[in-house]
Amino acid sequence: MIDFYTYRTPNGRKIAIMLEECGLEYTPHVVDLMKGEHKSPAFEKISPDHTVPAIVDQEGPGGKPVRVFEAGAILQYLADKTGRFYGNNAITRMEATQWMMIVLTGLAPFSRECFFFKNGLVEGVSEEALTQGASRMEAHIRRYVSALDFRLREYQFLAKTYTIADMAAYPWVDGLQRNFDISVDDYVGVRNWYNRMSNRAAVQRGMAIP
């Protein structure tokens, strides 16, 4: 049994997708960020940096409970635990890792910050600075989506086969048009990949949690 601590964020949903794809037994626990539940002393013991998602695997290595926090680390842990969705050779594993890192260190943080700027959620910043900041960040988002598109025009999935890299990317790509008026239809490779991902039953279930 895995205790899964999450909220309605792209990072949370990528872990839900992985759990569903692996068919692992888990219990979701909603950590309400709006109420500050992620800052509680009890949750700090699970996620020291006060972020979701996080998991506690009651049957970790050696049969002992283990906590894992940070979305990328959780994806890698679950892939290692199950022997699934991380490729079956060194090259595929490397490809999955580097494409996942493009999402974790590029697309995700710029999308998050752009959302804050576009919605005026940055304190002490003028309207002009908010607009300029959002524009610059959206340009970076388009650059990362273009990189994904370059890859996905050639292959069906980011590491050629379906891996945690695709699971990491999907929830962020899903929010592009809704949050930034960036349409996947402008990127044929990303569009076709997005449609393939959207048709997966486990992806549909994972995106509905919580």
pLDDT of the residue at 181: 82
Helix, strand, coil percent values for the chain (each to nearest 5) = 60, 10, 30
List, in sequence order, the alpha helices (H) in 23-175. Answer: 41-44, 71-82, 90-102, 108-118, 127-152, 164-174
Q: What percent of the chain has pLDDT over 90?
A: 86
pLDDT of the residue at 14: 98
pLDDT of the residue at 61: 94
pLDDT of the residue at 93: 97
CA distances in angstroms from 144 to 19, 96, 109, listed in the order given: 26, 16, 11
Q: For the chain, give every domain's residue range.
A: 2-82, 90-201
**What fold is seen in the domain 2-82?**
Glutaredoxin (3.40.30)
Q: How confident is the model over 152-159, as a mean pLDDT? A: 98
Return the half-sphere exposure (C-beta side, CA atoms, 13 A cut-off) of residue 203: 18
pLDDT of the residue at 124: 81
**What fold is seen in the domain 90-201?**
Glutathione S-transferase Yfyf (Class Pi); Chain A, domain 2 (1.20.1050)
Q: What percent of the chain has pLDDT over 70?
A: 100
pLDDT of the residue at 127: 86
Q: pLDDT tens digits for 46-99?
A: 999 999 999 999 999 999 999 999 999 999 999 999 999 999 899 999 999 999
Question: What is the spatial distance between Cα 165 and Cα 88, in angstroms, rounded to a whole number?
Answer: 14
Mean pLDDT of all residues belonging to the chain: 95
Question: Does 33 score more than 90 pLDDT?
Answer: yes
Single-letter residue type at 1: M
Question: Does 125 score more than 90 pLDDT?
Answer: no
Q: pLDDT tens digits for 94-120?
A: 999 999 999 999 999 999 999 888 888
Q: pLDDT tens digits for 9-19?
A: 999 999 999 99
Q: Are 71 and 14 spatial neighbours (Cβ–Cβ below 8 Å)?
A: yes
Question: Does 188 score more than 90 pLDDT?
Answer: yes
Q: Are 152 and 144 spatial neighbours (Cβ–Cβ below 8 Å)?
A: no
